[in-house]
Structure 1
Amino acid sequence: MTTTSLFGDARFPLGPFTPYENNPILRPKGDSWESSNLYNPAALVVDDQVVLLYRAHAEDIVSHVGIAFSDDGYHFERENAPILSPEHDYERFGCEDPRIAYIEGTYYLTYTGWDRRSAQLCLATSPDLRTWTKHGPLFEDFDTFKTMDPRGFNWSKAGVIVPQQIDGKWWMYFGEGGIYWATSDDLIHWTPGTSDEEPMYSPTPGTWDEALVEIGTSPVLTDDGLLLMLTNGATRRYLKDGTREVDYRCGQIVIDPANPTTVLARLQEPWLRPQTFEDTHGLVSNVTFVEGLVKFRGTWFAYYGQSDTTLAVAVADPGATYGTDLRADG
């Protein structure tokens, strides 16, 4: 079996990406556990297939993680039963928003355990994507909104593991609100590098991600050795009736492994934003939310949720570049 989770031959910024004309590629179906909403997938390549691990739920909004396979990156066959479901108190109302890394024969799945009060970053491991061992919440007494909008209790959703060691340690980037880092000796027990009052990356005031930033996809390796990750960011608008409306868009950051606690650069404008009907209408409207990125048969595939309701993909040709080549003759 061949599994790939660290993709290379990338440039910053990655893209441009074009949403697939036949999105959504997966929708809710039937009257089962995935009958109401299906979104926010992790992605990797296994044996020359794209594998998605996606979040879905019925009307009860209790999320499970399902699995789907594709030979072309666009058309997926899903299995009927979820591969990960709530079992414990900390996740009793949902196993949400998976990200995945494959390291030395083991799949490491980070996900959000939701108890309708606290969203906690959890870890599960598997040798085969079917049998999972849950290791529980990773960070106690950590609030990734601490410097912005403190929750006052554990809140640490969203985490991606770098599938290669840096300076003899395993690294993870995590957080919603602000982005933080953690290290591990064994990939199971993780220690934050700072307190929750010291994010390594925070929202940029006056921009499209001024309300929050959240880690999106596992990293890719650029041509010059930097780690590039797709991110999510949001603004919030308050309407005349006092209600709040969100707008989630997708960005990019790049990190130097020689200085892995610092973001070197960010894409100043989002590479993806809500545009289509599915992007702007759903359980949580106005959301494009990326969690899966693979390079498959020479093309970049970025998988994202649409308004917490359907699942879509945007693609990029590695040979394409942003902007106009001003060096052309004439």
Structure 2
Amino acid sequence: MTVARPPREDPGTMHAPAVATTAIPYALRRSGVLMSPEPGNDAEAEGVINPAAARDDSGEVRLFPRMVATGNFSRIGDARVVVEDGVPTGVERRGVALQPDRIWERGSGHGGTEDPRITWIAELGLHVMTYVAFGPTGPRPAIAVSADLATWRRLGPIQFDYEDALGADLNVYPNKDVVFFPEPIPGPDGVPSFAALHRPMWDLSFVRPDDSAPVPPSVEDPRPSIWISYVPVADVLADIARIVRLGGHRVVAAPAFAWEELKIGAGPAPLRVPEGWLLLHHGVSGRVEGSAFVPQRHVRYCVGAMILDPADPSRVLARSEHPLLEPETADETDGVVANVVFPTAIEEIDGVSYVFYGMADYRIGVAVLERTAQAGEDAAWSR
């Protein structure tokens, strides 16, 4: 395996790079509603949202939605995507993929397995699912793996290595929106690594509601931002359980525009495109009332995109100044949380890339990812 080693600087203060706003040659076009709560099914009484997706050995696209039961208690479901004339139009339910049956997945009053992402990593021959385990201390990222999408092996919560440069232990803080790249990339030291994007939050209000957020002294922008961390390929090939141990933490991007002024987070697994790695992300504007870990009424979620450098994915080459998708339809503006479009999966069907996304924290929508400029057409990409 050959992975080019990029020049790196000492991370020092954890600040996001300067914002690049080169036009992103991609767009999203709505296709329709894919999945809604099943009437009379208490396990879906408060929504089916924010799914992962993957293709099984038979070639069928499988959907793994977050199923929200009464009391905001979540499970990760399993369904087959129904395709008609090459277009995903609905689902066939198959049950539950991951029940919150570990103590670190079950809180008091609120809990569950939430918001999965799945990345097929060919180097491992495994589907790697990252998900939010909402347990006694709030939201923590965890990993499960599967060879066949039928049986999942939990590897446990992610453990972030302590690093002096950060000046804080990331394991102390809640974290969400974790997703792995599908292939090895250069680590900070040039070592071929598996890498994950994630979003630490300097907010302990779930367990210490009267305390202000203890932001690490090295963090320049306290707003929830997209970070990247790594684990050497050799370590994981020797022991798959090592994939939960991530280090080399760096900020990739912080909120930059009005539509994402509160926070940003990674969406589906990064997609390799001619320009680099295409990352769809969500951005949030508005205001948060009370704890950030309870449903909000005055926020707005939109979808944007970034292009990450293939030689160093911690570097943003370009970024959309305006959203690719905003909450506009009734299904996106009216729900458990109004005004939400939340992308979490991309799958190709008959040569078309479809993005699956949460709609107002109640339903699942699907949109077509389209290219709007030919490779090499935009001078900004001539490099």
Shorter-chain TM-score: which interval? 0.7 to 0.9
SS at match of 1:135: strand
Aligned-residue offset at 1:220: 0.9
Alignment partners' CA distance in 1, 2:136 and 2:60: 35
Q: Which residue of 2 aligns with 1:191?
A: 246
Alignment of 1:1-330 (within 5 A): 13=24, 15-20=26-31, 23-29=32-38, 30-46=40-56, 47-70=58-81, 71=83, 72-92=86-106, 93-103=111-121, 104-115=124-135, 117-139=137-159, 153-167=172-186, 168-175=192-199, 177-185=224-232, 186=236, 188-194=243-249, 199-204=251-256, 206-224=257-275, 226-237=276-287, 245-318=298-371, 320-321=372-373
SS at match of 1:33: helix
More displaced 10-residue stretch of structure 1: 69-78 or 116-125: 69-78
Aligned-residue offset at 1:313: 0.6
Alignment partners' CA distance in 2, 1:88 and 1:223: 42
Q: Which amino acid counterpart does residue 181 of structure 1 have in structure 2? A: I
Cα pair distance change 1:52/1:13, threshold 3 Å: farther
Cα pair distance change 1:175/1:152, threshold 3 Å: closer
Aligned-residue offset at 1:107: 1.2
Q: CA RMSD in A?
A: 2.7
SS at match of 2:338: coil
Q: Which amino acid counterpart does residue 141 of structure 2 have in structure 1? A: L
- Contact 2:226–2:265, Cα closer than 8 Å, also in 1: yes
Aligned-residue offset at 1:189: 3.0
Alignment partners' CA distance in 2, 1:291 and 1:283: 18
- Contact 2:251–2:314, Cα closer than 8 Å, also in 1: no
Aligned-residue offset at 1:280: 0.9
SS at match of 2:331: helix
Q: Which has the higher helix share?
A: 2
SS at match of 1:48: coil
SS at match of 2:272: strand
Structure 2: stretches of 5+ with no match in the other structure: 1-22, 187-191, 201-223, 290-295, 379-383
SS at match of 1:273: coil
Give the length in aligned residue pairs.
296
Q: Which amino acid counterpart does residue 301 of structure 2 have in structure 1? A: Y
Aligned-residue offset at 1:311: 0.5
Aligned-residue offset at 1:41: 1.1
Q: Which amino acid counterpart does residue 263 of structure 2 have in structure 1? A: L
Give the TM-score normalised by structure 1: 0.81
Structure 1: stretches of 5+ with no match in the other structure: 1-11
- Cα deviation, 1:28-71, whole Å, max 9, x if unaligned, reads 11324223300101123334332211111221211111122233
Cα pair distance change 1:14/1:68, threshold 3 Å: farther
- Contact 2:36–2:47, Cα closer than 8 Å, also in 1: yes
Cα pair distance change 1:159/1:199, threshold 3 Å: same
Alignment partners' CA distance in 2, 1:158 and 1:102: 17
Cα pair distance change 1:236/1:117, threshold 3 Å: farther
Alignment partners' CA distance in 1, 2:345 and 2:196: 16
Alignment partners' CA distance in 1, 2:79 and 2:251: 34
Q: Which amino acid counterpart does residue 100 of structure 1 have in structure 2? A: I
SS at match of 2:44: coil
- Cα deviation, 1:141-160, whole Å, max 9, x if unaligned, reads 99xxx9xxxx9942111111
Give the TM-score normalised by structure 2: 0.71
- Contact 2:130–2:142, Cα closer than 8 Å, also in 1: yes
Cα pair distance change 1:172/1:73, threshold 3 Å: farther
Q: Which amino acid counterpart does residue 16 of structure 1 have in structure 2? A: A
- Contact 1:283–1:308, Cα closer than 8 Å, also in 2: yes
